[in-house]
């Protein structure tokens, strides 16, 4: 995103529409905190600026990651998907990513609405590293992991901030709560953001989730894949 401050008329309309409060008001002008800005482009798309001071831009790597994770209109090079994750439970009736006795885990750093640096994300990937987790090939985070044995991310991206990042992986159900506890323990020390936890299973295996220890509240609402998908010839 670029902000041409000389066009700013000082109306302040933009202050309310930044999800991470990266726009401040000083001396009757809007000021963008470029470190906080996650390139979601709400300011551009909303059209709230009467002088059109906000516009799209083409930042260099690794800042490009901000838009690919924060703006759902930007496509991930690694997955060719729009947004932060993959098809996961949405097409599990065809892809069979999650099978009997296993769960899909999606830890979304920065959600809801706080934003996260990749340094926060690395706290999660490092905590996952000792466990038998598998990152499906089409998850955006997989392309950013420098070393799966340690969970270290590519060092040049750690300071980049995004609206949220989904750390999406598969693991045996027996490891689910030990993994979540390990992440929580690691996060308690240093994490500067929040994370939302999503878990998916086959519909007949709800017991795997409901063996929940205290501290994890399972929402009565969730996403239900109704098994209506049909392959139109061969699997990829």
Partner 1 sequence: MTHTNHRQGSRQSLHDDYVVLVMPAKGYNDSPEAPEKLKIVFDILISFQPVNAGGINAGNLFLDSPEQIRARIGSDTPMIHGVYTDIDTVRQVIEALREVDSGFSVVVTGLIDEIAAAAYSAGAKPHSIAYSLGIKGNEALLPPPYVQEVTAMCGHNLIPSALVEDLIDKIAQGQIKMAGAVSQLGEYCVCGVFNPVRAARLLERAVSLKKGEKTSEA
Which of 8, 18, 53, 145 binds partner 1 (CB under 8 A)? It is: 18
Is the backbone of residue 179 left (phi > 0), alpha (psi -120 to 50) or beta?
alpha
Residue 25, beta-bridge partner list: 30
229 counts as binding partner 1 under rule CB under 8 A: yes
Decide: residue 204, CB within 10 A, 0-12 exposed, 13-18 middle, 19+ buried: exposed
Which of 50, 101, 113, 178 binds partner 1 (CB under 8 A)? It is: 113
What is the footprint of partner 1 within residues 59-98 (CB under 8 A)? Answer: 72-73, 80-95, 98
Max CA-CA distance within the chain? 63
What is the footprint of partner 1 within residues 32-61 (CB under 8 A)? Answer: 40, 42, 45-46
Which of 6, 24, 166, 207 binds partner 1 (CB under 8 A)? It is: 166
What is the footprint of partner 1 within residues 186-215 (CB under 8 A)? Answer: 187, 191-203, 206, 209, 212
Quick one: which segment of 2-10, 29-37, 149-157, 181-189 binds partner 1 (CB under 8 A)? Answer: 181-189
Min. distance of Cβ 187 from partner 1 in angstroms? 5
Min. distance of Cβ 6 from partner 1 in angstroms? 25
Chain centroid to Cα 95, Å, comes to: 21
140 counts as binding partner 1 under rule CB under 8 A: no
Is the backbone of residue 75 left (phi > 0), alpha (psi -120 to 50) or beta?
beta
Other CB atoms within 10 Å distance of the CB of residue 167: 27
Residue whose pair of structure tokens reads 């063996």 in the numeric block: 211
217 counts as binding partner 1 under rule CB under 8 A: yes
Contacts with partner 1: how many residues (CB under 8 A)?
Answer: 82
Min. distance of Cβ 43 from partner 1 in angstroms? 10
Q: Please tell me the distance from the alpha carbon of residue 99 to that of residue 95, in angstroms, as a whole number.
A: 10
Q: How many residues does this entry show for the chain?
A: 236
């Amino acid at each position: 995103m670029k902000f041409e401050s000389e066009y700013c008329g000082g109306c302040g309309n933009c202050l309310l529409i930044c999800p991470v409060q990266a726009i401040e008001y000083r001396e009757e002008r809007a000021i963008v905190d470029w470190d906080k800005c996650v390139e979601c482009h709400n300011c551009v798309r909303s059209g709230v600026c009467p002088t059109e001071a906000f516009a799209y831009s083409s930042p260099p790597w690794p800042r490009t990651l901000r838009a690919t994770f924060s703006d759902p209109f930007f496509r991930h090079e690694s997955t060719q998907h729009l947004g932060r994750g993959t098809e996961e439970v949405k097409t599990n009736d065809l892809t069979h990513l999650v099978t009997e006795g296993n769960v899909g885990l999606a830890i979304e750093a920065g959600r809801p609405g706080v934003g996260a640096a990749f340094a926060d994300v690395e706290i999660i990937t490092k905590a996952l590293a000792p466990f038998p987790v598998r990152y499906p090939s089409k998850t955006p985070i997989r392309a950013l992991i420098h070393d799966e044995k340690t969970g270290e991310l590519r060092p040049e991206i750690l300071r980049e901030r995004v609206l949220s990042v989904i750390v999406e992986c598969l693991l045996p159900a027996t490891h689910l709560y030990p993994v979540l506890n390990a992440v929580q323990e690691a996060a308690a020390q240093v994490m500067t953001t929040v994370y939302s936890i999503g878990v998916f299973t086959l519909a007949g295996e709800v017991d795997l989730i409901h063996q929940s220890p205290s501290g994890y509240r399972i929402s009565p609402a969730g996403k239900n894949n109704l098994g209506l998908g049909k392959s139109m010839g061969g699997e990829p």
